Structure 1
């Protein structure tokens, strides 16, 4: 027994004697937290007082506890760790298997060979799989005699050095520093299991110490290659991440919960800001001193010892009564994995540990980290390694069986709180949805606040709802969700726009079917919430005489049943293929005017015309020819033409006016025999008539026949005379100058 333990023994003994003499009501009662902060002797005194009241047997038990030696380094503290997994708690008993040895028949352990699938262990011995992935980690350092170890420290690295200055690579270590297998299992306390220390159920102030579901425990174990010499295995628990750089990893192994490092070299990266760590980080060391005896466990806490200076400070294990266990194997231990090439069964599967070749332990991390009232405590990394000595801060780091294990184990179970979001709202489609942006708070720290939008379709494309769900996650993975829903509705009808050629739909005459269709046109429909294609119907063609009309009406309904106001276009046209008929009239009807008519008479003779058309009024137009002159005869023709609105041309109709232009009188020429008209005596009547003569009339415009009159015979004695006078008037009434011939003769029959 160490000196400190002996001193404490006498302190306890004197305390017990004193307490036995004190009245009952003067004994102070210390709770568990005060015990942790105080002295184990005070704790034993209180327990002694209660036990003195109850029996005289238990003082011997507490003497045994004292003899276990809660010194700065715990030696072989065995017992039952009150954890939820493995089931029934875990025995730190120098035996890796549940239900053994005696005294642990109803306690779990690392392995369970009694029940199928390892019910009361952490490993399924049937399949080799971990029963609690994410909480159990098994590191295996490749070993093969003289082969290179892929993960050793390559420089003179110390425990107090900044981890970011550590370097690593392949190499070999002295066999006393060689570690092949190490593991850790994390579990919370089980309130149905009582803590047992060295075979004695732990009681504080008369109250059994049960597992606390808020306490995070770690069960750990590690081995050494040889049992002679001193070996030191560190289990470093860091609140911030520590990772390797330059490592080549093998495939993730579900049977170990890790990815093995198979090559590479490099350094370490630490997120710790206090000299590469975080104040309060814990270093638990298993110490095999001088190759034999009980394994020790020491606990160091990362502490700022002066401004800017940090180091691991050793804490007495008496600070952690009931919260730390440690022991080594006391008998040959077969295990289901390789142990430095040992093969006790000759099967190539499994190995066997010699006595004192491995150690196991447990630490209540919540209590050791003093995180009972720190809901924001996070355990980020576990780093397992060996070093050259235990007590010296100058001891060199040697071997590590694998990359630092990333844990992210949290005490915080309180989810974040997301600020209130608006109640569901309804907006008209289309809409730019405007969601509120909440804030998130957490009792520790919010890591992220993200959202996911989920659209729920409605009965049509324009009716739907979008729910934005916000998820706030804190640094420990606790989540809170809050959602806001916006309902989108389509209640506005489309708007139809129709166009055609020509714009007014009036086509003219005799259009083609394509032209009519173009005039009826096409239409588009605009809808705020989606594409809508209008449909149309054409009315029957309406016939009014030669006029035709047809109407095309479009309708459109969007996907949500909103009907647009109908839009129509009407095409109108004329069907006319028959030419007009011209009728011309004039005065006189035959157009023959006579002589020297006036202009108005000529125009009246040329006449007027009308045109008859089945499809509408048509006014004929005329052209007059130039006046044709043929001697005194004049003629002029007026020709009418008419074309209806559809371009049908009437047969031309003409009228011709004829007239005479004559203002010169005829000239009469009379002749007779004899020329002078003197007949002589007693001419005959014929001779008289011949003498009176005949006459002709010459007229420039036509034949004129003169007429004559004979005067009575003038008798003067025997002389006789008679005058014949001719007159002639042409067709235009121009009278010729009268022309006469007088004949003279003698009537003398008397001798």
Structure 2
């Protein structure tokens, strides 16, 4: 009792002196942003704050949703388009983590739902979801063989080891299938044209197409059989025919077109050398050409006909002409009187008198009057290659034939 009295007395003294602490007025305080948990009794429960007093989750910010083309690295990366989540907490450290759920669409086309988690030291959790879509819209890269022309009998099946070749393709996102489709047309009997469409399709049905043209054609020229060289006597028809000596070129393929062009080298009269160039062209345009030599000669001289007729008043009619199988020959007549040669024409009227001494020649009203001891009518005819001369003694009517052959006549 004595001790209690002493304590009360001490308290009264201290209060009088102002040394007793006044009671604290406590009002709950909400933590302002940026204020960390501290050793203050902010909620006025008589205890300093600790984790039991931190109920607010961290502030979490997700990266933006991403739409990208494959191939894309989808690992979180602050320096890429994928990004990295950010989190902050007023009362302590924050641990970031994520979980991925992936939905495969096709090939390398997929969707990732990435759930980010931010956990502070007191176990408060914030979550957000980032959607990452990786698409495959790019078709495979296709390399097509070059178009090619091959022999009609060759095999047009694709083969990487020959001239036909085989397409190649690559794809950076997924596996692909490489196929081809053929469409064939035949513009003519011996030509086949294959339009080969190469197709590379990936797992998402993206496809690339390229066209290769394979032409199968007959490149072998036709076999042409030409007639042998021939020498013919004028007159002869030199047009080609199977029933003539000139003959005709042939081919074992009836579809082959055969034609010819003549190059003519002229000789004397109607002689000539014909270089006949035969050409065979098949339906594919292959050509074979070969020459045939045809030589046309003339070795027969013109035939001369000479005669005289008795006309009125003792006149003599002179008649002569010439014929030739190849060409109309040139013909002229001449009377040899002494040293003189008097030209005459067919049908000329002649008054001829035998007389000694120097010959006398004159014309009177178109009549040739000759007085001479001898008179010879010479008729000359030429076809350009060969010549013939007939001499007729006008007093004795004796004929003498003189034939000549021109050096211009082609040798057979």
Give the TM interval when normalised to the shorter protein.
0.3 to 0.5
Specify which structure has the higher proportion of helix: 1
Specify which structure has the higher proportion of strand: 2
Larger Rg: 1
Give the TM-score taking structure 2 as reference length.
0.47
